[in-house]
Amino acid sequence: MRCASLRTMSGAAKRLSKAEKAERIGELLDRLYPDPPIPLDHHDAFTLLVAVALSAQTTDKKVNEVTPALFALAPTPAVMATLSVESLLSAIRTLGLAPTKARNLKAMSEKLVRDFGGEVPCDMEALESLPGVGHKTASVVLSQAFGQPTFPVDTHIHRLAARWGLSSGRNVETTERDLKALFARDTWKRRHLQIIYFGREHCPALRHLVDSCPICEWAMPQALRKANTKGSAAPLARAARK
């Protein structure tokens, strides 16, 4: 998707506060992605939970390739809990960390049946108690399946928040806190998806042309511009922490 016409500032523009940056970024993202879809195929809270858990160290495209067969095999926690780890592994073998994920799916389904009546809980603490479910996965499920105000931060959002000077980049917890403070609560659900799509289309980790990016051309701090020319995400993260 081309959006050169959406640029509103030049690289020589005045220094902006984080709040001013966030406002401009939000406006641009809303124009580019007014109704961003969830990139992982699913049909209910359980299948969304499974898909997000499977997406660690794996592209959404690869997850979407295996989940149709997996969900046909095990459409509910009760059914998945009855399957062997080997059966689950066969269905997801092409994904990264497949053996660990298969064990987690089995254990997660058993816990859902045993402790939650076979339903996905709509509570952060309960979700994080499930095997293979971390804070980011729980946040996605609460936001997208239950409409709760969370701001899921994955490695891509973490990287872009630092690149745009919205957060220090020290860790994902800090980034989540900073983004929640900068963006209005009623935008969180769509904003994290918008940032993911923007990163894929305009702001890659490597071989990124700063002056061709509709956001980085004016939002990236000078220290990060220098680090970015080295072609590595590592210098970028170190510069963000200074």
- The residues annotated as belonging to the active site are 136, 154
What percent of the residues of the chain are helix, what percent strand, and what percent coil, each to the nearest 5?
A: 60, 0, 40
Using the structure block, give the residue that is written with the tokens 């209910």. 44
Distance (Å) of CA 32 to CA 2, 92, 113, 124, 198: 9, 33, 41, 31, 8
Residues near 218 by beta carbon (within 8 Å), at least 6 away in sequence: 7, 8, 9, 10, 11, 13, 16
Residue pair 164/216 in contact (Cβ under 8 Å)? The answer is: yes
Using the structure block, give the residue that is written with the tokens 């996905």. 120
